[in-house]
Structure 1
Amino acid sequence: MAAANVLYGALLVPTVLYIADITRRRRSRLPPGPAGLPIVGSLPFIDPNLHTYFAGLAEKHGPILSIRLGSMVDIVVNSPQLAREVLRDQDAVFANRVMPDAGDAVSFGGVQNIVGNPVGPMWRMLRRVCVHEMMSPAGLASVHGLRRREFRDTLRYLHSKSGEPVDVGAQMFLNTMNVITSTMWGGTIESESERAAVGSEFRALVAEVTELIGTPNVSDLFPALKPFDLQGVRRKMERLRSRFEVMFTKIIQQRMKSDGGDTSTDFLECLLKMEKEGGDGKTPLTMDNVKGFLLEMVVGGTDTTSNTVEWAMAEMLQNPEAMNKVQQELDSVVGRDAVVEESHLPQLHYLRLVIKETLRLHPPVPLLVPHSPSADSTVGGYHVPEGSRVLVNVWAIQRNPLVWNEPLEFNPERFTVDGGGHKGDFSGSQLDYLPFGSGRRICAGMAMAEKLTMYSIAMLLQAFDWKLPQGEQLDLSEKFGIVMKKATPLVAIPTPRLSTPELYCS
């Protein structure tokens, strides 16, 4: 009987909130939006591809809209002007996050790290470590050798698959995962077999984490039901966190036993040094922070980067003239008697245009990480309640026909002077182009993501020609999730184009 009363009470709360929501809409002038149903709101009507669903609602209700999903009210912004109000003009108010229950469950010791941490001393310290030390030009240069090692391994593997169909996205996921784990702690694990074993286990764990975070969770839609964990998402995520804990503890212990020695420089060395010194002098950096930071970099950097590479390759296979231009540029800068290196990347101007256009059409996180105002606010003349979830529909903004000429066309030249001259600045200063976000919560790993994406595509196109398997049609449809993927994996056949086979094994 007691359990029934508790469940009844839990179900009563959403009903009360629904009535309160209707009253609040009338009194506080929330943005317009679909009315929805009692208790569940608009849940029965949503399309799984939320970015296109919200863009469709914006055509009916306007560029800012409110929608109730369960007992939660979401505010969705679909225009550059309103994105500026949220991310720049009122950046300080909207700088906090709303994290899913699964994201909280996988954190170490309740630490939410850079993405989920509210703005404050801890967030500022972690972001400073990431952006100004680890992801700075000097920081990235210090782990160049570790990145190069992993790229050469991938080059050898792809050469062994010459003439055979290759799942491009899956292979780039493996490459990106290996590169990121190597630059995080690769100097600790010197054995190639051990490195492969650790990488394999991480790949499996990261796949499970991203799947759980992307799973619609009753606990997020009805926070009153969170203690019941009705779908078991939190329990599953806590088990995954325990497995990460074991792996990180082993890696950290190996590093600490080495006592510096001949271990190669990597980001773990930087973190452990700060942990030993007590942080930045104002805020301590704990071992839980170190573990959480490593996890965040691995989970947050793999899918986003590898998917961008896959989308770029798919768009160029659909638009072979663009692929030919990238390869001609590579032949001019590098030639075919050597393998492309990171040092060549600044000279690959057309490749950079291709990446800009790929990120315009296929932003890795189409709705960004949700923002949450720390006080009642006004956007576009409408009331935005404190603590609500605010989504910026980057996908819709970057396809806005009022801003972009022929917005659905893949046209890298639009970022040249002759093609319209849009700067395509990754800094988020132009609110009609913000694939990495904008304001103080702009992606902390942007520098590494840009470098890995350029290096990956340059390697794929300098070393190989690519074609679809005979009879296969290219599918550019999208699948919404925590990261936007191709609905159908890109499978293509590589053919070597370097002058000698020995270059693939160097």
Structure 2
Amino acid sequence: MILVIAVLLFFSSSIFLGFLIQKMKRVVLPPVPPLPLGPSPWPIIGCVLEMWRNRPAYRWIHDLLKHLNTDIVCVRLGKVHVIAVKSPEIAREFLKKHDAVFASRPITMATHHFSSGYLTTVVVPLGEQWKKMRRVLATDVLNQSRLQWLVDKRNNEADNLVKFLYSQCSNNENGSVVNVRNATQHYSTSVIRRMIFNTRYFGNGREDGGPGLEEERHVSALFTILLHTYAFCVSDYLPWLRPFDIGGHEKKVRDALKIIKQYQDPIIDERVRKWRCSNKENRIKEPVEENCLLDVFVSLKGADGQPLLSAEEIKAQIIELQLATVDNPSNIAEWALSEMLNQPEMLTKAQEELNRIVGIDMLVQESHIPYLPYIKACARESLRLHPVAPFNLPHFSTADAIVAGYFIPKGSSVLLSRLGLGRNPKVWENPLRFDPERHLNGDASQQVELEERDLRFISFTTGRRGCMGGTLGTTITVMLLARILQGFTWSMPPKVVKIDLTEAQTLFKLNPLYAHAKPRLPAAMYLI
């Protein structure tokens, strides 16, 4: 009996001891934080129906942010959690503290098409191809020495901008009304076209220096692709609907891409053939010399001495470079001039700065840019108040993360709101007023940059996916605004007392800016 009791006690003690050991070993996980606030999703499709009913989708998302009184919102579209943010603090947590997790890009119909299956840099998911192309851009294309090598080409187009506008208004001694959007978009596209292809036109152009039919079609196609890039296409969230092309997004992208390739691909194919034939026959012929970025792309060699980039990689990357360049400078300049016409004292102040720093006997040059804080403040304010798109390019999460106390699942698409950040009343006093002085803090001699490192608005973002072309973008933008302000006296068109600042659904100015321009420099300055 005693033996039985002893055995029972032994087993009981063993079981109890084992239970204690297991309990001590057991890891007690903290509760998973909640997702950010957002509408309740339907099974499988999420909130796609609500997104479709409440187009444009970006306004619906911003309405949710306002209605829920939150700085971060989560909307599930299909299986994808779309996270929208309008707080600089939370934005910095995503792109600085958790940069490694959110350094990829989502796969979409439009980006797949224009990147030729993700052969480029900006829209490519994290991986070896992105590393390869990023290294090419950083080392061989957008470095300071390369940009300096191309300065004459940019100057040539800046001179042509002034000459083109002069031709529009010099026939009348009192000046004439000109289409500012046409001029600014033509400049933005011609300057990058000159840098890439060493040409202003795909066709013959116009005698006055303006774009011909080929350039107008090419520019229109670029803007079509931009408007459909990350445009909340239904099939991006419900791939099984892609054959139906709801909304016609895919057809529009394909048609636009066909136009772009019609003008660019023959030039690229010929240049590739010329370089590679020259390399094979260099004992007989003189080697080809680099005179534009296309030559740089074609001539790059890998460690094995073979061409580093395929023709398809070159074609796709060139399209992406143009897409990254054509919209912001022209949009900033058009909006800035529109706002300044409604507050003419700003025009006076900007032109006084140009007179003081540059004078009237020479045209403003890139070397003057560091000494034009007020001009840059005007461009910066236009970028803040009138962004070219409602959101930045999306960041795709490669792992679960906790940000601002919320659970952000792997596979989420994170959008920083350009509108919510740039017009946030918690950050900006009187945020809807165009006020360049807010960037000077009363010190007209301080350095002003278009880059916004603290993400109080979106310029060139930050982190691994930050824009590598910030210096080039700043240069093109400031030169555009400075040249049109230096070269002409601007005023309202006849019978107009105030420039209409209504936004289109795309966030571009609803109606192109028409303004009265009168030359303000000696006539010889326009005929360089």
Q: TM-score range by the shorter chain?
A: 0.7 to 0.9
State the partner residue of 1:222.
238
Contact 1:42 1:70 in 2 (8 A): no
* Deviation of the 1:75 alpha carbon: 1.0
Q: Structure 1 length normalisation: TM-score?
A: 0.84
Deviates more, 1:280-289 or 1:222-231: 280-289
The higher radius of gyration belongs to 2
Alignment of 1:26-175 (within 5 A): 29-35=34-40, 39=45, 40-43=48-51, 46=54, 48=56, 50=58, 53-54=61-62, 57-58=65-66, 60-69=68-77, 72-108=80-116, 110-162=117-169, 163-175=175-187
| Structure 1: gaps of 5 or more residues | 1-25
Q: Which amino acid in structure 2 is aligned with residue 272 of structure 1?
A: V
**Which deviations, in whole Å up to 9, do the C-alpha atoms of 1:101-150 show, x marking residues without a partner?**
12212222x13411211222321232233234322221111111211222
In 2: Cα distance, 1:428 partner to 1:403 partner: 13
Choose from 449, 462, 465 the match for 2:473: 449
CA distance in 1, matches of 2:61, 2:128: 37
Provide, for residues 192-250 of structure 1, a one-character-per-residue CA deviation record: whole Å limited to 9, x for no partner. Answer: 65995753442243244334447653312422322443455334534544454453332
For 1:379 and 1:283, the matched residues in 2 are separated by 43
Structure 1 pair 261–190 and aligned structure 2 pair: CA distance change class (3 A): farther
- Quick check: 316-325 or 469-478, which moved more? 469-478
Query: Which of the residues 256, 265, 271 maps onto 1:255?
Result: 271
In 2, are the aligned partners of 1:415 and 1:421 still within 8 Å (CA)?
Answer: no
- The 3 A distance-change label for structure 1 pair 203 and 403 is closer
Percent pairwise identity: 31
Cα distance in 2 for residues equivalent to 1:176 and 1:232? 28
TM-aligned CA deviation for residue 189 of structure 1: 8.0
Query: 1:341/1:455 Cα in 2 relative to 1: closer, same or farther (>3 Å)?
Result: same
SS in 1 for 2:68: helix
Report the CA distance between 1:71 and its aligned residue.
5.8
CA contact (8 A) 1:32 1:61 kept: no
- Cα distance in 1 for residues equivalent to 2:258 and 2:309: 21
Ranges in structure 2 where 5+ consecutive residues have no aligned partner: 1-30, 170-174, 279-285
Structure 1 pair 467/299, CA: closer, same or farther in 2 (3 Å)?
same
Rounded to whole Å, the distance in 2 between the matches of 1:370 and 1:286 is 27
Does residue 177 in structure 1 map to residue 185 in structure 2? no
1:383-394 correspondence runs (5 A):
383-394=407-418
Aligned to 2:511: 488
Contact in 1 for aligned 2:88/2:455 (Cα 8 Å): yes
Shifted more, 187-196 versus 425-434: the winner is 187-196
Is 1:478 the equivalent of 2:503?
yes
Q: AA paired with 1:31?
A: P
Q: Is the 8 A contact 2:201 2:212 kept in 1?
A: no
Contact kept? 1:334, 1:344, Cα under 8 Å: yes
Contact 1:424 1:433 in 2 (8 A): no
Letter in 2 for 1:447: T
Residues 225 and 28 (structure 1), Cα distance of their counterparts in 2 relative to 1, 3 Å cut: farther
Aligned residues: 475
Q: Which amino acid aligns with 2:101?
A: V
Aligned counterparts of 1:187 and 1:44: Cα–Cα separation in 2: 42
One-letter amino acid of the structure 2 residue matched with residue 237 of structure 1? V
Residues 197 and 131 from structure 1, CA distance in 2 versus in 1: closer, same or farther, beyond 3 angstroms?
farther
Partner of 2:369: 345
Structure 1 residues 182 and 283: CA distance shift in structure 2, 3 A: closer
Note closer, same or farther for the CA distance 1:264–1:233 as it changes in structure 2 (3 Å cut).
Answer: same
Give the drift of 1:59. Answer: 5.4
Greater shift, 31-40 or 163-172, is seen at 31-40
| Whole-angstrom distance in 1 between the partners of 2:188 and 2:316 | 19
Query: Are residue 372 (structure 1) and residue 396 (structure 2) matched?
Result: yes
1:429 is displaced (CA, Å) by 2.8
Aligned to 1:199: 215
State the match for 1:14 in structure 2: none
Q: Answer whether contact 1:478 1:487 (CA < 8 A) is retained.
A: yes
In 1, Cα distance between the equivalents of 2:257 and 2:303?
24
What secondary structure sits across from 1:440 in the alignment? coil
Q: Are the counterparts in 1 of residues 101 and 397 from structure 2 also a CA contact under 8 Å?
A: yes
CA contact (8 A) 2:329 2:480 kept: no
Q: 2-side partners of 1:408 and 1:230: how far apart?
A: 35
For 1:502, give the aligned amino acid.
A
Compare 265-274 and 338-347 and name the one that shifted more.
338-347
CA gap 1:212/1:53 in 2 versus in 1, 3 angstroms: closer
Amino acid at match of 2:123: G
Counterpart amino acid of 1:497? R
